[in-house]
Amino acid sequence: MEQQLWIWIMVGVSFAIYIGIAIWSHASSTKEFYVAGEGVSPIANGMATAADWMSAASFISMAGIISFAGYDGSVYLMGWTGGYVLLALLLAPYLRKFGKFTVPDFIGDRYYSNTARAVAVFCALIVSFTYIAGQMRGVGLVFSRYLTVDINTGVLIGMGIVLFYAVLGGMKGITYTQVAQYCVLIFAFLVPAIFISIIMTGMPIPQIGMGSKAADGIYLLEKLDGLHRELGFHQYTSGSKSKLDMFLITAALMMGTAGLPHVIVRFFTVKKVRDARKSAGWALLFIAVLYTTAPAIAVFARTNLIQTVSNKPYETLPEWFSNWETTGLLTFTDLNKDGLVQYVADPKINELVIDKDIIVMANPEIANLPNWVIGLMAAGALAAALSTAAGLLLVISSSVSHDLLKKIMYPSISEKGELVAARIAAIFAVILAGYFGINPPDFVAATVALAFGLAAASFFPAIVMGIFSKRMNKEGVISGMLVGISLMLFYMMKFKLGFFGGGTNEDWWFGVSPEGFGTLAMCANILVAVVVASQTQTPPKKVQQMIDEIRKP
């Protein structure tokens, strides 16, 4: 069957499933809308969390990033999985025990102050918006590449779908759709990886295949290191980043992951405290399936690519090469006119520019897989982008309707009114996100990765200190959060966007990249919080009792 037809079939069937689930599970109370009625089983919640977590970037770009960065790409692998250990051990069980709807809920109650709540809402909105705009753009990109529609039409279709099931179903609809989306995306990711692993090493498990010997009896990784040396790239299995930067970026990604409101809120949806712990374990297991396969794909694709193109005559390159050339993601300019492809590290003589996104998307073609696999990839990439967008949307809508409206502005609002407000807020959030998807401001691409730094610098320490210290009070935490998030915003604007005089890599404070700066901003947050708290009053009795309560089994 033709490729395009397969794509329409796979995408059409998966969308029909999502919409079916949304209708079946529409929410009728605020509890169902915000936390799925607290009745989700740990495994289902684990899958939903995994789908929520793995965005279009994880699905399409991550393997490609690692493929080009080699060892340096490990920051993403460790950072985006290690955060779940922190979540399971330090946050999820206690927040579930606390038993409210949102992260600002916890901050507001634990720190007995609506100012703290408002600061938390502000942080949640900043983090979620930087993130969701990138997702809508991802949805548009996938549509335009696979379904050959215009990118803006793609964003509009994506908006429509997300709006439909997020507004109708709330958290309940989103959770069960995400379970389906996880299955689609993981299947779509694994099938080509397994095929390629068999082709290159004869080993069906990619995680083992990447450490196996290729047909010529040389270990793949050794061969790749050799190729890299030859072409002047840094060695694949050791890094080019400084150890300090590796350390700080990994730490910022871990603590950011644990502090992202759309991830934390998932643990409010299970029945019991026990289930919150277990569910974090399942979530990480489901995520690990993709995150341990990605570096294997990276190695296969990198080796394959270099061997196929390096110093080969342009005329004899396989068909997929010209297919991707037409999309502009691969460009070849024969600088020295010898008809051969020179792919080397030195930009002066390098003739081939490769977009990192190709690594995953061109995989099925490079390995000559059947057309239905390509259809599956399209459905998988869309599942990844839509599930993340929907999860974020819910955080934005609940921040507005629950934290701002109900808790701060109109405490007397009825449940029905709050539900209506939540849905209206969701509609506005989609429209705004869609607007940014169609007219992406320059800062979106630069800031999505930095959303983690922001979360690490604001929420993570505030929540952890709220649970593990009885001495921490509202003065301490508010000043800590404000210092943390402003430092991070300042550093990000200065070095990423060129505000405040800008600066180059040489001007980085202590040589720390903006991606890694979240860790330092978090330390500043804690330091300020502890100093201020020690100079001000201890929290009231009622709050101390509340802390005792959430620590109990």
Residues that bind other proteins (CB under 8 A): 66, 71, 73-74, 77-78, 81-82, 84-85, 88-90, 93, 207, 210-213, 219-222, 237-239, 243, 246-247, 250-251, 274, 277-278, 280-281, 284-285, 288, 291-292, 295, 548, 551-553
Q: Which residues pair with 322 in a beta bridge?
A: none
Task: Please state the closest distance from residue 372 (CB atom) to other proteins, in A.
Answer: 30
Least separation in angstroms between residue 282's CB and other proteins is 9
How far apart CA 252 and CA 247 sit, in angstroms, is 9
CA Rg value for the chain? 24
Least Å distance between CB 205 and other proteins?
12
Shortest distance in whole angstroms from residue 495 CB to other proteins: 23
- Nearest-approach distance from CB 420 to other proteins, in angstroms: 39
- At closest approach, how far in Å is the CB of 278 from other proteins? 5
Nearest to 473 by CA among 71, 49, 111, 66: 111
Q: Which structure tokens are listed for 541? A: 């009795």
Q: At its nearest, how many Å lie between other proteins and the CB of residue 219?
A: 3
Q: DSSP string of 419-441?
A: HHHHHHHHHHHHHHHHHHHHS--
Least distance in angstroms from the C-beta of 275 to other proteins: 10
Please say which residue, 212 or 308, places its beta carbon nearer to other proteins.
212
Distance from C-alpha of 10 to C-alpha of 184, rounded to nearest angstrom: 10
Return all residues near 433 (Cβ < 8 A) that are at least 6 apart: 129, 132, 133, 135, 136, 159, 389, 393
Residue 250 C-beta: closest distance to other proteins, Å: 7
Q: What does the alpha-carbon distance between residue 393 and residue 404 come to, in Å, rounded to a whole number?
A: 16
- Residue among 94, 92, 62 nearest 78 (CA): 62
- Closer to other proteins at the Cβ: 303 or 342? 303
Closest distance of CB 259 from other proteins, Å: 16
Structure-token pair, residue 5? 């037809």
For other proteins, the closer of residues 471 and 551 by Cβ is 551
C-alpha distances in angstroms, 90 versus 48, 83, 143?
A: 21, 10, 39
Residue closer to other proteins (CB basis): 44 or 405:
44
Residue 223 CB, shortest distance to other proteins, in Å, is 9
CA distances (Å), 7 to each of 56, 136, 143, 194, in order? 17, 20, 11, 20
Contacts with 529 (C-beta within 8 Å, 6 or more apart), sequence order: 461, 462, 465, 472, 476, 477, 479, 480, 481
In this structure, what token pair is assigned to residue 297? 């794909």
Cα separation of 81 and 507, whole Å?
A: 31
CB of residue 524 vs other proteins: minimum separation in angstroms? Answer: 20
Cα→Cα distances 12→5, 465, 491, Å: 10, 47, 44
Q: Return the number of the residue (162 or 200) whose C-beta is nearest other proteins.
A: 200
C-beta neighbour count of 134 within 10 angstroms: 26
Instruction: Provide φ and ψ at 166, rounded to 5°.
Output: -75, -40
54 φ, ψ (degrees, to nearest 5):
-85, 110
Between 201 and 447, CB nearer to other proteins = 201
Nearer residue to other proteins within complex by CB, 297 or 529: 297
3-state secondary structure of 270: strand
CB nearer to other proteins: give 292 or 327: 292
DSSP state of 27: -
Shortest spacing between CB 154 and other proteins, in angstroms: 33
Which tokens hold the place of 392?
């974020």
Give the whole-angstrom CA distance, residue 399 versus residue 388.
17
Q: Which is nearer to other proteins, 224 or 455 (CB)?
A: 224
Judge whether 166 and 430 are in contact, CB under 8 Å. yes
d(CA 234, CA 171): 45
Name which of 159 and 550 has its Cβ closer to other proteins: 550
DSSP character at residue 408: I
